[in-house]
Amino acid sequence: MTIKELQDTRLGKVLMGFKKEFLWVGVFSLVANLLMLTPTIYMLQIYDRVLQSRSEITLLVLTLIVLAFFIIMGFAEWLRSRLLVRIGVRLDEQLNSLVFHAGFSAFLKKAKHNTVQTFTDLTNIRQFLTGAGVIAFFDMPWTPVYLVFMFLLHPVIGWLGILFALIQAASAWWSHFATADSIEKASDTSVASSSYVQGKLRNIEPVHAMGMALSLRERWLEKHAEALDASSDQHHRQHRQQSINKFIRYAMQSLTLGAGALLVLNGEMTTGGMIAGNVLMSRALAPLDMMVNTWKQFIQARAGFLRLEELLSGFNMPEQLDQTQDIRGDVRVEGLSASAAGGSIPILHGIDATFRPGELVAMVGPSGSGKSTFARCLAGIWPETSGVVLVDSIPVEAWDRSILGPHIGYLPQDVELFDGTFAENIARFQEVDPDKVIAAATATGIHEMILRFPKGYDTPIGMGGSMLSGGQRQRVALARALYGNPSIIILDEPNANLDEAGERALGSVLRHMADAGKTVLLITHRPAVLALADRIMVMQEGHILHNGPRDEILNILKSKKTAKSGAINR
């Protein structure tokens, strides 16, 4: 990627915002690298002046000067490192929120790339910017300066420096050619193997109960073997390259020293010049050697950069609208169609519907008719849609979720709780309001149950609510949906795990909330709950088949059931 191409990328523009800081890093590198010549000059003076003159005063003055230069050099390197760390921290601060929201959005949309991996990419980039690889980049321009000083010592030493610099550069290029693909493959296969195991651990109970562990182990072993082979190949290539680099480095030092010794024997160089040339050779080629040794980190940072750029390129933070008004909960759906990612057949077909505050709407229909997809569309969490869902006349995707979210109570079919306490889960991990938490728990009939736990509302429920039964998890999730008295309540089969008493309590709560001016949509198959509805919607194959007052729709459903039963009897 060229500098111009980098400037055109979204992440590149952020990096270009640190031009001033990188300029100062270059200035500190200038000071540090110039003062790196101090040991060489000191050595020349010791061998060629002090040992010849046997002057202790000269030795003392030279040593004091050298120590002062070393202090300045160390201070410059410390400032350079500190500035790079600050660049990394500020880069993280500028991007972490954007990366989080973009990754969250991509995961919600079931994006094709591994969005979980991208959460670590920003850390990899930040660590690379503060590591040895970037320092080598800033030291690289000074290699020609050291080569000039080597020519000043003797042209032969200078030409040797150029020769070894070319060999080292060729080694760096070959390192990229030989290891780049293997590093990326090893990383991808390792992530795939780990993700496979983590996905199965989230469903450990049915896996164990139905004896699926052995079969899943075989599949994991295949992925693990692939990751192991890729990792072994990557390490073999990397170790081979390190061995070649070590040979080049030792050969470079020895041949430079040997060439210097030959020049001393021929009277063309002093002993100090011979040793100084060897030191300068090592210093001149150190950045190249460092780049080869940190090539793996560079490849990982580059891959992370490309993944983050892909993640951010199509994402924009929602526009901040004037959303200070109270949310009434007036929901309108116009021409709503929805499909699965990559699917050719729509799940919903051009639906138009209205949900008014103070109304309890029950949605029924056979499995696969699109009820749950419709609920997700109303909540603004289904990615593949056309048409529009308006909340108080504003498209649901245009709302700032930090504003709209607290006014929506959503319970999906697949209940997911989070590692934390009862109170934290019910309060949606916001600041816990004890009165609101207890009110939501009481409304769903779990207040007494929670109090029976050792720490009450402060009892940790485990990862995903692992210490709770399915019914208890659903009730906690239901309390979370009702927390804070939201304006819009969307519940997908909330009574699936409730007993008769719990179902009556739920119906009473929902009826009370609708009477209080809330917009309530309830997806259910239970006839008892239908009796509480103001309106019933019947879905079939992604269409709204019937939509009207409760008694009217119940009579239609009853007549259809009677007609079907009569046809079967005939």
Name all domains of the chain by residue range, CATH numbers in brackets.
4-314 (1.20.1560.10), 331-568 (3.40.50.300)
Partnered with residue 355 across adjacent β-strands are: 331
Q: Residue 358: CB partners within 8 Å, gap ≥ 6? A: 514, 515, 516, 517, 518, 519
C-alpha triplet 462, 223, 298: angle, nearest 5° = 90
**What is the model's pLDDT at position 511?**
87
Q: What are phi and psi of 31, to 5 degrees?
A: -65, -45
- Cβ 352 vs Cβ 364: under 8 Å: no
CB 80 within 8 A of CB 29: yes
Rounded CA-CA distance 34/16 in Å is 27
Sign for the CA dihedral angle at 387, 352, 375, 483 comes to positive
If you count them, how many residues does the chain have? Answer: 570
Distance, in Å, from the CA atom of 361 to the CA atom of 519, rounded to the nearest integer, reads 8
Comparing CA positions, the residue from 247, 238, 120, 245 lying closest to residue 185 is 238
The Cα 156–Cα 160 span in angstroms is 6
What is the pTM for the complete model shown?
0.64
From CA 540, how far away is CA 557, in angstroms rounded? 13
State residue 314's pLDDT score.
67
Asked if residue 136 lies in contact with residue 291, where contact means CB atoms within 8 angstroms, the answer is yes
Q: pLDDT 10s digit of each residue in the chain, 570 long?
A: 555 555 567 777 787 888 888 899 889 988 888 888 888 888 778 877 888 788 888 888 888 998 999 899 889 989 988 888 888 888 888 887 777 777 776 666 655 555 566 767 888 888 888 777 788 888 888 888 888 888 888 888 888 888 888 887 787 777 666 666 666 677 677 766 676 666 666 666 566 566 666 767 777 777 778 778 777 777 777 777 777 777 877 788 788 888 888 888 888 888 877 888 888 888 887 887 777 777 777 777 887 788 788 777 766 665 554 545 578 889 999 999 988 766 668 888 889 999 999 999 999 888 888 888 899 888 888 877 888 999 988 888 888 777 888 889 998 888 888 888 999 999 988 888 899 999 888 888 888 889 998 899 999 887 777 778 777 888 888 889 989 889 999 998 887 777 777 777 778 888 888 888 999 999 887 777 788 889 999 998 888 988 999 888 888 888 877 766 555 555
